[in-house]
Amino acid sequence: MSNSPRKIGLFVGRFQPFHKGHLDIVKKILEENDHIILAIGSAEKNYVPENPLTAGERYHLIDETLRAEKIPCENYSIIPIRNINNYALWVDHMNLYLPPYDTIYTGSQIVKACYEGSQSNKQLIQIKRVLPISATKIREAITNSTDTNSEWEALVPPHTAKLLKEMKIPQRLKDINETMNETKYK
């Protein structure tokens, strides 16, 4: 047994929903680290077109999908974090909720800018998107899906697709979008 300290990577996302691109990144981070922290950002946002899932639902989807992918639960932590609308304080806010980590992995330019502008001494690794998958496109595909046409399922891990259907998220997205279109409330 080695006495060397564990390497811990941080991956921040809204995961609306968790998809194959996210899973690919999680697996790559775990190739370089002993543990990954998945920070569910904007935890307070839900039931709107760009954030249809609650933090608890996102936690459940991620946890169950990683288990289905045979990723040991001792290798990851999932932590929902409310957003603050002050980017200058964002990194400090995140760090109030997170256990210690060594490296932040991000594909987001704003997350990169926040870390570079902070007093954080964390290593920052810019993620290159290998799989051309976007949660925005998945939400649009779910909204436009029918019983015979559900192309979105190919963009998420199989277990995630199963859970999204069990949770009736496709219908929720359609209802939310219809409500938003009717009321013009955004």
Phi, psi (degrees; rounded to nearest 5) at 179? -60, -45
Class of CATH domain 8-183? alpha beta
Looking at residue 65, what is its pLDDT? 98
pLDDT band at residue 2 under the 50/70/90 scheme? low
Looking at residue 94, what is its pLDDT? 96
Place of tokens 């290159």: 128
Closest CA to 38 of 84, 105, 86, 85: 105
The answer to whether residues 74 and 135 touch, using CB atoms and an 8 Å cutoff, is no
- The reported pTM is 0.92
pLDDT, tens digit (0-9, with 9 covering 90-100), for 77-122: 999 999 999 999 999 999 999 999 999 999 899 999 999 999 888 9
pLDDT band at residue 182 under the 50/70/90 scheme? low
pLDDT, tens digit (0-9, with 9 covering 90-100), for 126-165: 998 888 899 999 999 999 988 777 899 999 999 999 999 9
Looking at residue 10, what is its pLDDT? 98
Count of CB atoms situated within 10 Å of the CB of 66: 24
pLDDT exceeds cutoff 70 at 47:
yes
